[in-house]
Amino acid sequence: MTISFGTRLRSAMDERGPLCVGIDPHAALLDSWGLTDDIAGLERFTFTVVEALAGTVAVFKPQSAFFERFGSRGVAVLERAVSDLRAAGGLVVMDAKRGDIGSTMAAYAEAFLRKESPLFSDALTVSPYLGYGSLKPAVDLARESGAGLFVLALTSNPEGSEVQRAVRTDDPAGRTIGATMLAHLAEENAGEAPMGSFGAVVGATLGDLSSFDLDINGPLLAPGIGAQGATPADLPAVFGAAVRNVVPNVSRGVLRHGPDATALRDSALRYADEIRAAVGA
């Protein structure tokens, strides 16, 4: 029987600490490492991170766009990174934010959630803003493959509020769009233990979210710690009773310590310890 993403994620966070490290090889970061903005630089950056952290960190979130910008050779680097990370026991959340309808959404799902795909990942970020129902092909394939999804619900970028906090005129309860997405995810995860596999992206920089029901019995991927200004100590105030299911993402806060592998590892371990203490893990 395939073990669900929610089960594997809970186990990984309990064992290695509740931390997700982003892998974001953008041009400025490559330059800060003294690397060229080309395939050689991309490879050196990516596999330095993989070799330093794959056996230590619970979750990794490669940003697909920073690999796709190099074309097929960049995607090949991403494929190898995904394989190496998973072989070392890390879980991979592919940050591709895919969203479409019908057969196109199904094709996106097959690219990242079909076990035979070279980009098969433990979970995928998806955009629900063609309607939550448009995600059904991804939901169905994730269930079949034992993978998960992270649905954009309350994102950390300031522009997100104009959509996510808009009130639905067709909803008798007058819920916002973001609250609607959380409610759908709670339905997907109902009855799952230790938690479901269908999570939400909720920014750690958003302050008091007590007006939203974050108890979706699933993971909450929380960008914003480090360079965006949030700290591990902020997590309980933002996420309340749901804080144990938070998967805090740190990218530049860890990656700025490269290319030294020991410094990368030490930074990741410090963040994991700080987060564990903050959330009572």
Residues that are catalytic: 97
3 state SS for 100-120: CCHHHHHHHHHHHHCCCCCCC
Beta carbons of 222 and 199 less than 8 angstroms apart: no
Beta carbons of 227 and 252 less than 8 angstroms apart: yes
- Across-strand partners of 176? 167
Locate all alpha helices (DSSP H) within the chain, ordered by sequence.
5-16, 27-32, 39-53, 64-68, 72-87, 102-113, 136-145, 161-164, 177-189, 235-239, 252-255, 261-279
Taking the C-alpha atoms of residue 51 and residue 59, their distance in angstroms, rounded to an integer, is 14
Joined tokens for residue 104: 């196109």
| Nearest CA-CA partner of 230 in 221, 238, 241, 219 | 238
For residue 259, is the peptide bond before it cis, meaning its omega torsion is within 30 degrees of 0?
yes
Helix (H, G, I), strand (E, B) or coil at 36: coil
Locate all alpha helices (DSSP H) within 152-211, ordered by sequence.
161-164, 177-189
